[in-house]
Amino acid sequence: MAIWLTKDSKVIVQGMTGSEGSKHTRRMLAAGTTVVGGVNPRKAGTTVDFDGTELPVFASVADAMKETGADVTVIFVPPQFTKAAVVEAIDAGIDLAVVITEGVPVHDTAAFWAYNVAQGERTRIIGPNCPGIASPGASNAGIIPADITGSGRIGLVSKSGTLTYQMMYELRDIGFSTCVGIGGDPIIGTTHIDALAAFEADPETDAIVMIGEIGGDAEERAAEFIKANVTKPVVGYIAGFTAPPGKTMGHAGAIISGSAGTADAKKAALEAVGVKVGKTPTETAKLMREIMSGR
């Protein structure tokens, strides 16, 4: 079992005919993902060949869902068109929208996030500025390399795409149920807490790796949630111990203000609720390995 993305998921790609969309559609297909079509109003009615697999192009997400039964969309459109693409997916009522696009204006993200809430949060949004979600051996929606690890019983949620890949590699011999890259922008659709709750409820996830980074208070709020709601072992890593205050480091959300949002503060909050926090990704993987070896 996996969270949100399974072997039965049917995936469409908004922006499938563009350079990034076509490249990663090909990779998703190679990973075994059931990709059933793409969306581009200007090329509706055509098909695209991906190494022998012909995928239809639809005028809208609603049309694609009606014709294929799609329940997941992966969005590869330029930043200026991302809000419209996400709103279209929400209006169509699709279950999961994975927003890969980097550089989406924060006010646009705020707008489509608020719109989704107003519509009853029928659609789960992951991202923007994220690597996507992968359930190894079952399905892969986004840009996460499919050959890093196999399936297993660890759940992974991470703000950082690169650290998602590294942790998958470090624990590749144990494997993962699902790996979720939630993105590092100031406003995101799915949070650490959302993933923690889903992994806690998943009977085939035994333990959880949570990767955070400096800036904001998401990790502190996750610590409070873990204390109250999570019974499974959690290990953590916080990127940015050497970051200078007041500087944005990599992600738009990774900025320290005074003593708030520092790696030390986040580490302390997590350790206070029993989460073991590694000083490096490799040390974090070692902590998880110790937990899994006792199961």
Q: Does the CA dihedral 227-228-234-240 come out positive or negative? A: negative
Q: Is 19 annotated as a binding residue?
A: yes
| Residue type, position 225, single letter | F
Residue 169 annotated in ligand binding: no
100 belongs to an annotated ligand binding site: yes
CA atoms within 13 A on the CB side of 116: 28
- Choosing from 24, 107, 192, 251, the catalytic residue is 251
Say how far apart CA 270 and CA 99 lie, in whole Å.
28
Check whether 9 is labelled as a binding-site residue: no
Which ranges of the chain would DSSP assign to H, the alpha helix? 19-30, 61-68, 79-92, 106-118, 161-170, 192-201, 218-229, 263-272, 281-293
**Is 200 annotated as belonging to a binding site?**
no
20 is in an annotated binding site: yes
Report the C-alpha gap between 129 and 151 in whole angstroms: 25
Between CA 52 and CA 46 the distance in angstroms is 15
**What Rg, from alpha-carbon coordinates, does the chain have?**
19
Edge-to-edge strand order for the sheet containing 139-142? 139-142, 132-135, 176-181, 151-158, 207-213, 234-239, 276-278
Hunting for tokens 């660890």 — which residue is that?
154
Q: Per the annotation, does 161 bind a ligand? A: no
Which pair of structure tokens corresponds to residue 278?
């590694």
Q: What is the DSSP pairing of strand 176-181 with strand 72-75?
A: unpaired
Q: Is 67 annotated as a binding residue?
A: no
Is 24 designated active site?
no
User: Is there a binding annotation on residue 102?
Assistant: yes
List residues forming the annotated binding site. 17-20, 43, 100-102, 165
**Which residues make up each annotated binding site for CoA?**
17-20, 43, 100-102
Residues with active-site annotation: 251
Q: Which residues are annotated as a binding site for substrate?
A: 165
